Structure 1
Amino acid sequence: MLTPNQVMGFLSATRQRTYWSLQVAGWAGFALFTFLSLTLWNNPGQLEATTHTALQSLLGLIVSHGLHQVVRRAWAMSLPMQTVLNTVATVIAALIWTMLRIVTFSWLTGETVFVSDYGGWAFASGIVFASWVFCYYAARYYRQALVTREKVAEAERMALRAEARAHEESVKRLTAESLYQETRLRMLHYQINPHFLFNALNSVSHLVRAGDKEKATTMISRIASFMRETLETGAEMEHSLRDEVALLDLYLDIEKVRFGERLVTEFEISEAALDASVPSFILQPLFENAMKYAVGRTLAPVTLRLEADIEDGALRVTVSDTGPTTELPDKSASATSTGIGLRNVEQRLRSVFQDDVRMDLRVNDPQGLAVEIIVPATGVESTRDMVDA
């Protein structure tokens, strides 16, 4: 793992190599261009002129390196200061290189350069060094653009990685929540059958002790049918209200053996509501609760009524009885007497629909209780056809 100082050293060395590579390549190219365009044309075959062409390029490299020190420091200054400093430095560098070119030309060739020709030499030097400063700034801006683009690209990559990690964490969290909700729903779901089985076998025991073997046998047969259907659909956490009513019919067949004519049932369900999706075995605890606290507390016939319809995109289900109850049980009594019935239903509904659940318990007029459930209607079409059962 490189330290920050090592990284900076590596970058600095890279910039130095790039700078000197461009310097050598640029002045070598200038020497070749001068040789081909001027030396061969004006002094063909003269070794001294060719030597001067190479020497002036070498001197230009040295002078431009000094100019580089000034221009590099001017980079961080304001634009007006950069302009003034670069202009002055370019003029001085051009004058120095002009004098070096003239002196070396006279020394190598023995020819005299007249003062009247100094202007042309100086002008050419100015053009060369102005071009050098332009190329330096172009390369510097290009490198800066590459660095900026790389930083932007790296920031985008980091943002994408962060987004991917956040998405992955979100998926993990949602998966965990989903597994938790499913496990919780299954635990509530599996509470129902033991509770029902206890009550049903208790009823069979009463029938046996009363000597009514026929009813006991019929009830055991229907319990077996109900439990077989329960096992076949036990893995389903949700199904249609139509399937739920079919399971409810099996349960009520068992209870009718127990209560006989004391139990009257009425269903009023719209065709649209039959297609609505509900948690499986959601109605049985409501009817089981009514059996215990309505039918079981009076010898008079009690009507249990199921109503279901779709209203404003919501499934409204009402289970009511005409039992002897005339007031709502207090909460402390309800918490211990109703067992898992109503609480189980509400907890399972909230596990599926979260807070989009309304469940109300009220007293019927003149007596009896009614439980009303309102949840989002899923898997249904808008229709109002009524079916009486």
Structure 2
Amino acid sequence: MSGGGTMLDRLRAGFSHTALMPAVVIWGFGYVLVDLFAFLSGHSAPGLTFVFSPPMFALGVGLTLALDRLRLEMLARPPGLRWPLLVAAILAAAAVQSFFDLYWMRWVATVILPEWQAWALVFDPQRLATIGIMYLWTFCLALTLLWATRVSGAAEVTAARAASAEAAAARAEAAVLRLQLNPHFMFNTLNSISSLVLSNRKAEADRMIDRLCEFLRGSLYSDPTADVPLAQEIDSIDAYLGIEAARFGDDLDIDIDTAPDVSEAQVPNFILQPLVENAIKHGVSLARGRATVRVTALREADMLVLGVCNSVARRDGDPVAAPEEGQEGHARPRTGIGLANIRQRLANRYGSAARLETGPTDEGFRAVIRLPFVA
């Protein structure tokens, strides 16, 4: 049973080959038209000519496949040699098909259908020319369609490969953009854990290690190209801020405020972490006293609005500006994930439907992501 199924699959695959199937369709349709013309001209009853056409049909398909094979093998030849040989081969095939048609019909009229003898046994130059032109046109049409089929197939393969490469590049870009954790964060976290252990604050060190494991689990083991519920994104941010809170102690206040109706909204994985990291790195570290990092999420019509802002008391002379971009939007040298990378991720995922807005506030800096609300 398995062997029979395999044989059937092979037959189907062979029939659906780019050369065989179009040839069968073209010649089958051609002999349907021949039968129709024979009926309309009064030469035979409807369907009768078609009944005796299988030998001519098989010859036409075989010659078409042979011509197509010849065309493929001659692609490497110079055009001045390739085209004359191909034209000669097509003319020869049309002549063979025409004479086989005439003599096959003579045989059918002589042996099986005597009523056909009135037209099948009479040599008519006009009929011979008509048959020759018809077969010449059929071969040219078949080869043209086979060429177009192969060109279309090659274009589809190329397009599929390009789409696959583009998708792979997009996945790789998303992974790179999302997984570029700031090395300073890892260094500072591990250094803080070490300090807690050395100062015999093992309970705090254990909590910090748990938060770090929770954060890294969400960062490293999830699909970087997948969307996640906002609640999951907020959990990752909460774990990250928990680590930073252990580092800064009473100098850092954390405020996470999300509307109840947005927890299931789909967002790009780890889209908020770079903004929170910037708020810590370029806000809390510049504060003279307590600092606050606030994360908000709400829905405005069909848009999801995510905000990250810091509120700090800065040292005299410290500018209130973005860590990656000045107030005029000019890029500054940096390491890690920047605002430009977030914009690139949003553009890759949503096109012009999403955007990142940044700017200074009276007490710090604010970044807002606006993207389509998708539950």
TM-score scaled to structure 1, two decimals?
0.58
Contact 1:362 1:369 survives alignment (8 Å):
yes
1:372 aligned to which of 362, 368, 371: 368
Stretches of structure 2 lacking an aligned partner (at least 5 in a row):
1-69, 75-84
Cα shift at 1:255? 1.8
- Kept in 1, the 8 Å contact 2:179–2:220? The answer is no
Question: In terms of Rg, which structure is larger?
Answer: 1
CA distance in 2, matches of 1:314, 1:228: 29
In the alignment, structure 1 segments of 5+ residues that lack a partner are 34-127, 381-389
Alignment of 1:56-95 (within 5 A): none
Please point out which of 339, 345, 361 is paired with 1:348.
345
Please, which moves more after superposition, 277-286 or 202-211?
202-211
Instruction: Tell me by how many angstroms 1:293 deviates.
Output: 1.9
Contact 2:350 2:371 in 1 (8 A): yes
CA distance in 1, matches of 2:204, 2:104: 106
CA offset at residue 172 of structure 1? 0.4
Q: 1:147 to 1:291 in 2, by over 3 A?
A: same
Higher helix share: 1
In 2, Cα distance between the equivalents of 1:166 and 1:276? 38
- Whether the 8 Å CA contact 2:182–2:335 is kept in 1: the answer is no
> Residue 186 of structure 1: SS of its match in structure 2?
helix
Distance 1:148 1:180 in 2: 47
Does structure 1 conserve the Cα–Cα contact (< 8 Å) formed by 2:94 and 2:136? Answer: no
> Offset of 1:297 from its aligned partner?
1.8
Distance 2:348 2:244 in 1: 29
| 1:10 aligned residue (92, 97, 108) | 92
1:24-35 equivalent positions in 2, closer than 5 A: none
1:113 paired residue number:
none
2:175 aligned residue: 186
Once the two structures are superposed, what CA deviation does each residue of 1:326-383 show, in whole Å capped at 9, x if it has no partner?
Answer: 632564996235743434433433443455441121112x2211111123333x1xxx
Give distance in 2, aligned partners of 1:268 and 1:323.
Answer: 19
Superposed counterparts of 1:1-389, under 5 Å: 3-4=85-86, 7=89, 10-11=92-93, 14=96, 135-192=124-181, 194-204=183-193, 215-233=204-222, 237-324=226-313, 327-329=320-322, 331=326, 335-336=332-333, 339-354=336-351, 356-364=353-361, 366-378=362-374, 380=375
Moved more, 233-242 or 246-255: 233-242
Contact 1:268 1:306 in 2 (8 A): yes
The one-letter code sitting in structure 1 at the alignment partner of 2:179 is Y
> Is the contact made by 1:323 and 1:369 (CA closer than 8 Å) also made in structure 2?
no
Q: Secondary structure at the match of 1:233?
A: coil
For 1:169, the aligned partner's letter is T
User: 3-state SS of the aligned residue for 2:181?
Assistant: helix
Q: 1:299 to 1:141 in 2, by over 3 A?
A: same
Q: Which moved more, 1:164-173 or 1:146-155?
A: 146-155
Distance of 2:231 and 2:163 partners within structure 1: 30
Per the alignment, do residues 13 and 337 of structure 1 end up closer, same or farther by CA in structure 2, a change over 3 Å counting? closer
Structure 1 residue 315, shift from structure 2 partner: 2.8
Q: For the structure 1 residues 234 and 299, does the alpha-carbon distance in structure 2 shift closer, same or farther, using more than 3 Å as the test?
A: farther
- Identity across aligned pairs (percent)? 26
Task: Supply the distance in 1 between the matched residues of 2:101 and 2:237 (Cα, whole angstroms).
Answer: 87
Alpha-carbon displacement from aligned partner over 1:151-172 (angstroms, at most 9, x marks no partner): 3343333323222211111110
Cα distance, 1:262 vs structure 2 = 3.0
Q: CA deviation at 1:174?
A: 0.5
Residue 321 of structure 2 aligns with an amino acid whose one-letter code is: L
The Cα shift of 1:235 comes to: 6.2
Cα–Cα, structure 1 residues 215 and 298, in superposed 2: closer, same or farther, change >3 Å?
farther
CA RMSD in angstroms, aligned pairs only: 4.2
Q: 1:138 to 1:363 in 2, by over 3 A?
A: same
8 Å Cα contact 1:288-1:341 kept in structure 2:
no
- Cα distance in 2 between the residues matched to 1:317 and 1:141: 75
Give the direction of change, closer, same or farther, for the CA distance of 1:252–1:5 in structure 2 (3 Å limit): closer
The alpha carbon displacement at 1:191 in A equals 1.4
TM-score (normalizing by structure 2): 0.60
Please give the secondary structure, in 1, of the residue aligned with 2:168.
helix
SS in 1 for 2:312: coil
Change (3 A) 1:288 1:143: same
Aligned residues of 2:305 and 2:369 also touching (Cα < 8 A): yes
Deviation at 1:271, TM superposition (A): 4.2
Q: 1:306 to 1:15 in 2, by over 3 A?
A: closer
Find the aligned partners of 2:253 and 2:344 in 1 and give their Cα distance.
Answer: 28
State the distance in 2 between where 1:16 and 1:338 align. Answer: 76
Does the C-alpha gap of structure 1 residues 250 and 138 become closer, same or farther in structure 2, counting only changes over 3 Å? Answer: same
Opposite residue 174 of structure 1, the aligned amino acid is A
